[in-house]
Structure formats: structure tokens, C-alpha cells
Amino acid sequence: MTGSVISGAGCPYALTWAVAQRAKDGQYCGDGYLLLRDGTEVLAFVIDGLGSGAHAHKDANIGLQAIQSGGQSLLHRFEQAHAALQQGRGAALAGLSFNLKTAELAWAAVGDVDGVVIREGKTADSLLQRSGTLGLTFDGFHLCQIHVQPGDIILMCTDGISKSYRSNRMQAASLSDLTASLLEDFGRAHDDCLVLGLEVRQVK
């Protein structure tokens, strides 16, 4: 599935996005995502409920709902998800903030959720994960900040996507084709899978 362009009035940068996901049982996917825009800031999250099936699906939704009601900072939203998930089995979470004025990216992850920045088909930067499981163990995160460029693609993947995807040359006709091909080629049959892609664009 591909979404519309995310932009802000008077901002020189925009994001297009696409997501590909698959449920292990064909019905309940324990991997989810969320996109929010607050003024000139775009927030994106990928969550992986512990395990798979209906319980993981429920936990993923609990975490995403808590994120929506969180405060302004990424850290506070992670804290809100951690508190909400203490009644469930827990989840891994990756989150990012993208500034539509400056093309500055800040991102972090807790648990086994992967992320890379692709530039000209190759990995230019990687998401730094911190061990833990929201709802069970959360001792903060490592927030990394980088400047991205028009044409860069930001990928966030749950652990249902084999990390060998990083060795793949990231070229496709469209962002939706890229996420779909990563799911098809690197998705594990025994797990829920999700790939979220965001492409940086310059507004003319």
C-alpha cells in the first residue's frame, strides 16, 4: 500500500511513503505502523508485538494508540507505549522524527526492529537499536540524528524481514515496488512481517 505525499505549508521537503506487511496466520498481523504530522514534523513508528497472531496484534494496537496520545518528544511517546504495554506481552518499537524544513532525521529503536537510510541504492546509515521490550524492560534509547537528502529512502523493518535484505541493491521502479519486493524476497514465512519505506522529496 502506498500513501499520499506528506508535506507542510512552505516547507522545502516532503515524504512519500509505502508499506508492505503480511500476517503469519493470514489474519492477525502483530506488526503495525503509524504516521503522524505535527506542523513541520513527521513522526513514523513501526511496532512488533511479541509473538504473533491475535495477542501480538492486540499489543501492537495498544502501543500505537498510546503513541498517538503521547507528548511531543520521541522519548515520551516510547514511555507512553511502555506504560500501556505493561498489561500485555510487550513489543519492540522503532520511531523517527523528520523535519520538513531542514531534512533532519532523528530515530531510535528498542528491541529487534531494523532500519536503514538508502542513498543511490546503498546503505548510507543505520538505525541504532537498544535491547529491551516495551512493557517489560525499557531503560531509554539511543537517539541518532542525521541529515538526509532528496532521493534518500528511509526503511524500517520488523524482525520478520531477514537482515540479509541489507545486502540487496535497493533499486525499484517505485517505493511501493521496493517495499513489496523486500517483503517477498526477505520476509520469513514463520513470522509476521512489515516494511515501511519513506522517500525524501524536494518540493519545487
Task: Give the model confidence (pLDDT) of 139-195 as tens digits.
Answer: 989 999 999 999 999 999 999 999 888 887 777 778 999 999 999 999 999 999 999
Q: How far apart are CA 11 and CA 26, in angstroms?
A: 40
pLDDT tens by residue, 114-152:
999 999 888 889 998 899 999 999 998 999 999 999 999
CB 40 within 8 A of CB 97: no
| The pLDDT value given to residue 3 | 64
| CATH code for the domain defined by 13-202 | 3.60.40.10
| Best CA proximity match to 44, nearest among 154, 176, 188 | 154
Cβ of 202: how many Cβ atoms within 10 Å? 11
pTM: 0.94
Average pLDDT for residues 82-97, to the nearest whole number? 95
28: amino acid identity, one letter:
Y
According to DSSP, residue 167 is labeled: G
pLDDT, residue 1, reads 55
Give domain limits for the chain: 13-202
- The residue with greater pLDDT, 51 or 204, is 51
Interval 108-118 mean pLDDT: 95
Instruction: Give dist(CA 92, CA 134) in Å, integer.
Output: 6
pLDDT tens, residue by residue, 29-86: 999 999 999 889 999 999 999 988 899 999 999 999 999 986 678 999 999 999 999 9
- Binning pLDDT at 50, 70 and 90, where does residue 2 land? low
Nearest to 63 by CA among 87, 37, 29: 87
